[in-house]
């Protein structure tokens, strides 16, 4: 990580959240509208409502927030490589680019240029804004869900009905797990600044859970209002048009 990037991030994390800042976290929608977006048309309407994610209060160990790993001297993830599946505009963007996680060949890339920070999910989605915007969005949480990606245009799922799902994680998070209303969880056991896995869209999600290196739970975020399926009709989503079909057990 460059000296300027590390210094800027350490300065931001050195600020202890105030009551006013915690209140500002509740203004999530306003903060998201201020950030620059790059969205690749995938021909399907996405029904995931990231702003609806709620959480149980994180432990004191998680209060450094999910940007902490990007504010340290140890660079998270790895450098962006020529073979990485990212849009051409990302490679043309100035600044430093790091791959924080991968799922199914789709990378989560974090970029920093001056006082701007951005994330890109493969060729599907990109969003950037000021460090203050991102700090408001993440708040005091140890994990911050960013959203799903597609494998390619018009290919949000693999043959098993799974799709890449990504987020940011604090440096004390070693594993992130997505639980469902039934069946085994999906997890990323090698978290380094970000997490990613192939989430099963055929089962209703239940919770996003972060653990430290000793297996202790740091934070648990409710995912029961999230639907990873998409609508096969781009002009609306009448009943029965969500895909893939849900399994009951």
Per-residue pLDDT at 132: 84
pLDDT, residue 30, reads 46
Q: Mean pLDDT for each consecutive 10-residue tract of the chain (249 residues)?
A: 47 42 42 46 35 50 53 72 87 89 95 88 88 84 92 93 95 95 97 95 97 95 93 72 85
End-to-end CA distance of the chain: 45
Query: What interhelical angle do 131-138 and 3-13 show, nearest 10?
Result: 50
Please state, in angstroms and rounded to a whole number, the distance separating the CA atoms of residues 99 and 139. 22
**DSSP of 10-30, one letter per residue?**
HHHHTSPPPHHHHHHHTTHHH
Question: What pLDDT score was predicted for residue 232?
Answer: 75
pLDDT of residue 166: 97
Q: What does the pLDDT read at residue 108?
A: 95
């Amino acid at each position: 990580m460059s000296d300027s990037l590390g210094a800027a991030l350490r300065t931001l994390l050195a600020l202890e959240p105030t009551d006013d800042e915690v209140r500002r976290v509740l203004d999530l929608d306003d903060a998201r509208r201020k950030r620059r977006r790059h969205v690749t048309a995938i021909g399907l309407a996405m029904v995931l409502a990231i702003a609806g994610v709620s959480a149980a209060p994180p432990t004191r160990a998680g209060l450094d927030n999910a940007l902490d790993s990007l504010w340290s001297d140890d660079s998270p993830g790895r450098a962006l490589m020529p073979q990485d599946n990212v849009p051409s505009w990302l490679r043309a963007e100035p600044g430093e680019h790091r791959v924080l996680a991968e799922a199914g060949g789709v990378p989560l890339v974090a970029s920093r240029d001056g006082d701007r920070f951005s994330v890109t999910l493969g060729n599907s989605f990109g969003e950037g804004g000021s460090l203050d915007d991102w700090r408001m969005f993440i708040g005091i949480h140890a994990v911050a869900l960013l959203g799903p990606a597609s494998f390619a245009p018009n290919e949000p799922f693999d043959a098993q009905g799974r799709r890449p799902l990504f987020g940011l994680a604090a440096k004390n998070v070693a594993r992130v797990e997505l639980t469902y209303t039934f069946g085994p969880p999906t997890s990323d056991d090698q978290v380094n600044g970000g997490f990613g896995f192939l989430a099963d869209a055929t089962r209703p999600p239940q919770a996003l859970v972060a653990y430290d290196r000793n297996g202790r739970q740091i934070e648990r975020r409710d995912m029961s209002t999230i639907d990873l399926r998409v609508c096969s009709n781009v002009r609306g989503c009448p009943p029965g048009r969500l895909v893939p079909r849900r399994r009951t057990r």
